[in-house]
Amino acid sequence: MRGAFRLREAAISAAGQRRDAEFTAPDGLPMPPARLRVAVAPNADPDNYIYAGRRSAAAIRAVLEGGGLRIEEFGSMLDFGCGSGRVVREWRSLKGVEIFGSDYNADAISWCAEHLPFARFEVNGLEPPTPFDSERFEFVYALSVLTHLPENLQRPWLEELHRILRPGGYLLITVAGESLRHHLAAGDAERFDRGELIVHFPRSAGMNMCAVYHPRAYVDAMLGGSFELIHAIPAGNAAGYPQDMYLARVA
C-alpha cells in the first residue's frame, strides 16, 4: 500500500510539473508544487487551485459584508490552516493589514514563507496551542479545518482561537453541515439529526480522509459562551462556497 501511495505521489508530481510548465498564475505569484496543491484539493490542477482560492476570498468578503464588516478594516488577521497559501495570496493588495498564516504542514509553511513575503507564517501542531500571543488578532478564519478534526480536538481549537483573538474580534469557520447530510449512511444521518458530531476516520486527524459533519445544534453549542454568533450562511450562499459558514464575535 505504501508503495502504491508513493507511485501515485510521483505521478501527481510529474503531471503537475508538466502542467506547471505551461501555466502562469494570473496574480503573478509563484505556484506551489503539485504535492502541496493536492494536499488541499481533489487534484493538482493549477487553474482549480487559483479558482478555489479566489472563491474562498470572495466568500470571506461576502460573509463579512453581511455582518457590516470589511476585511480592509482589520489591523491583523490569521488564516488558520492556510496550507500552501491559496487564500492568503488573494490578500496581497491589502494595505495596513498584518497578514498571518499557520498550518501544521511544515513543508507548506516553508514554501509560503519563501514565496509570499507580504505575509508571515508559523507552524502549529495538530493540537493547541499556536505560537501566537493572546489577543493577537482582530480576525481569524478557518476554512475547512474543523471538517478534518476529531471531536477531541474541536473545542480545544475553538478555545485556542478565542485566546488569540482580541476582545470583540471576529472568527469565521466553515463546516460540512445540513447540505452534505446526504453523504451519510442511515445510522449516521440519524445521529446527525440528533445534534451529534459525525466523524469518519478519526485516526487520520488533520488529513482530508478524516471527514467531519457538523449539525447546526453542535456548532451553536460549541460557539456558545465564548462567542456571539453574528450569522450563519448555508453552503453555496456565499460566493458559491461549498460549506456552511459561521461568523462569530468574541463575547
3-state class (DSSP) for residue 200 = strand
Which whole-number Å values give the CA distances from 82 to 2, 14, 143, 198, 214, in the listed order? Answer: 27, 24, 8, 24, 21
pLDDT of 41: 86
Tell me: the pLDDT tens digits for 67-108? 999 999 999 999 999 999 999 999 999 999 999 999 999 999
The share of the chain scoring above pLDDT 70, in percent, equals 92
* Cα–Cα distance measured from residue 163 to residue 132, given in angstroms and rounded to the nearest whole number: 9
Which whole-number Å values give the CA distances from 75 to 98, 133, 170, 187, in the listed order? Answer: 6, 15, 12, 46
Residue 2 pLDDT grade (very low, low, confident, very high; cuts 50, 70, 90):
very low
* pTM recorded for the entire structure: 0.91
pLDDT of 23: 79
pLDDT of 19: 63
Which whole-number Å values give the CA distances from 231 to 66, 145, 240, in the listed order? Answer: 8, 19, 17
CA geometry: angle at 251 spanning 60 and 138, to 5°?
Answer: 45
Residue 22 pLDDT grade (very low, low, confident, very high; cuts 50, 70, 90):
low
Residue 112 makes CB contacts below 8 A (sequence gap 6+) with 82, 84, 85, 88, 101, 119, 121
Tell me: the pLDDT tens digits for 107-116? 999 999 999 9
Averaged over 217-234, what is the pLDDT? Answer: 96
Taking phi over 0 as left and psi of -120 to 50 as alpha, with beta for the rest, 142 belongs to beta
Averaged over 29-58, what is the pLDDT? Answer: 94
Q: Is residue 32 reached through a cis peptide bond, with omega within 30 degrees of 0 on the bond before it?
A: no
